[in-house]
Amino acid sequence: MADASRILVVEDEPAQRTLLVEYLTRQGFFVTGQADGAALRRALLREEPDLVLLDLGLPGEDGHSLAKYLREQHPRVAVIMVTAAGSTVDRILGLESGADDYLPKPFEPRELLARIRSVLRRAVPVAPQVSGPKVPIGRRILDLEQRVLLDASGIEERLTASEFELLKLFAENPNKPLNREWLLEATSHREAEAFDRAIDLRVTRLRRKIEHNPAHPEAIRTVRGVGYMFVPAV
């Protein structure tokens, strides 16, 4: 199946980088490869890709720092972190850095392809400037049509693709306790693993953006033993 999506592979090992670029090109993507963070930053000045496949163990600036940079400066670019470090702690750190997904090495090419297509399906597009359904969530407003989060004056708060999908689920299910495992499967299209904290980390990031006091959340509340619940303001 042809796909016009643009992917930027950041991998310092030349043979691995070439294999990834060639494989993904055969799948119909438009793919370029870069060796390190400096090359990634230069490439982003020319054109934003739809997705960055980011190796964690890069020389100089590591993958965690680059993921944070992408989230802050290029929030519409999806990020999949790829690394030989596959422990639970490493996965948590990767997600905390802002990655949309995390894939430990070695991996099957078909699994990588499935993860890429899943993340791209959830990616936030550049939305047309039209009005649409708006849902107040905490101190922000979620515009479901434009797929953005706005403050009271209409200024956009940056959202990753996975953050938008999670907020959308909350908005569609007000006052209903939502199970962590169901939330992960619905937003990431994969089953939760033991001690998987992906949803908890995304909720923590969202609370910083929408709650008046993230330490005492009112909009997205924790339901002990279950997950989370969106409580609209009265």
Q: Average per-residue pLDDT in the chain?
A: 83
Nearest in space to 137 (alpha carbons), one of 98, 163, 162, 161: 163
pLDDT at 3: 52
pLDDT at 127: 41
**In angstroms, rounded to a whole number, what is the distance separating the alpha carbons of residues 104 and 84?**
6
Kindly report, residue by residue over 170-196, the tens digit of the pLDDT: 998 898 888 888 888 777 655 444 445
**pTM metric for this prediction:** 0.56
When pLDDT is cut at 50, 70 and 90, the band that residue 32 belongs to is: very high
DSSP H or E run through 44 = helix 37-46
Average pLDDT over residues 69-86: 82
Average pLDDT over residues 110-122: 87
When pLDDT is cut at 50, 70 and 90, the band that residue 141 belongs to is: very high
> Which three-class secondary structure state does DSSP give residue 169?
helix
When pLDDT is cut at 50, 70 and 90, the band that residue 203 belongs to is: very high
Domains of the chain in start order, with CATH, are 6-122 (3.40.50.2300), 134-230 (1.10.10.10)
DSSP H or E run through 185 = helix 180-188
Nearest in space to 107 (alpha carbons), one of 95, 115, 99, 119: 115
Q: Both tokens of residue 112?
A: 């990588």
CB-CB neighbours of 89 under 10 Å: 9
